[in-house]
Amino acid sequence: MPKPATITIDGFAASGKSTAAALLAQSLGYLYFDTGVMYRAVAWAVLDRQIDPADVEAVSRLSENITIEVLSDGPDDGRQYTVLVDGRDVTWDIRRREVEAYVSLTASYPRVRAALTNQQRRIAAGGSIVMVGRDIGTVVLPDADLKIFMQASAEERARRRYKEIVAQNKPAKFAEILAAIVARDELDEKNPVSPTVPAKDAVIVNTDDAGIEEVVARLKQLVARFQNGTK
């Protein structure tokens, strides 16, 4: 049997899904696409243009009119991809904590999700893609060939985010990062439009106490099982 044409990997923030998905896509020769950066880009644009994140109409209109590009290349500064908003490189800016604080809120607006979901489905239509996010297997690509949901404890995810920030020589406080992750988890789970939950036919992969090599190996095993008709 052929390899799955569409693979979705969902999970909460810092569950390890983005890094693992990028490596899996590379090994398969697939396109890697992290949809979360599109929502971060919208949140960044909202703050950059001094729009009230609680103004549903203004945020929705903005999301329908800005151009977001995700490129596979860019400066050699540790990035996995380059994110442009109306031509401006915001790859690292969208990772700032003030942006993180509003991603779940702005992403909960129906028109924002509709605008970005349509773009994501067009990209996936080409096949041979590993698409990553929080509702890809449930909302964006409910008919995907292989669906995976990655889990990790809030403490483990906070440790990962802390190390990531420190590695960039930026100040970080573990307690604040943990509190932000717990708060965002609650918002994502209760999102009225598309809550972050595993699809009924998703395979759960827990990444606690697992290095990236082990996680990627597990994902490759799932692809092999699909090919063998034992998914």
- Domain range list for the chain: 6-210
Beginning with the edge strand found earlier in the chain, give each strand of the sheet holding 88-89 in spatial order. 68-71, 82-85, 88-89
Q: What is the mean pLDDT of the chain?
A: 91
What is the rounded distance in angstroms from the CA atom of residue 59 to the CA atom of residue 153?
A: 32
Compute, in degrees rounded to 10, the torsion defined by CA atoms 18, 69, 36, 29.
-30
Dump strand ranges (E) for 35-102.
Answer: 68-71, 82-85, 88-89
> Which whole-number Å values give the CA distances from 223 to 137, 168, 214, in the listed order?
16, 34, 15
Residue 231 binned pLDDT confidence (cut-offs 50, 70, 90): low
The percentage of the chain sitting over the pLDDT mark of 90, rounded to a whole number, equals 61
Q: How much is the pTM?
A: 0.78
- Give the closest residue to 115 by CA, choosing from 45, 185, 50: 45
Angstrom CA distances, 102 to 40, 42, 56, 155, stand at 8, 10, 13, 21
Residues across the chain: 231
Residue 31 bridge partners (DSSP): 129
69's tokens: 């590009």
- Identify which of 119, 149, 113, 118 has the alpha carbon closest to the alpha carbon of residue 134: 149
Q: Is 111 helix (H, G, I), strand (E, B) or coil?
A: helix
pLDDT attached to residue 71? 78
Q: Which residues lie across from 129 on neighbouring strands?
A: 6, 31
CA distance 6 to 140: 12
- Report residue 132's pLDDT band, with 50, 70 and 90 as the boundaries: very high
What the block records as the tokens of 96 is 């700032």
pLDDT of residue 229: 82
CATH topology of domain 6-210: Rossmann fold (3.40.50)
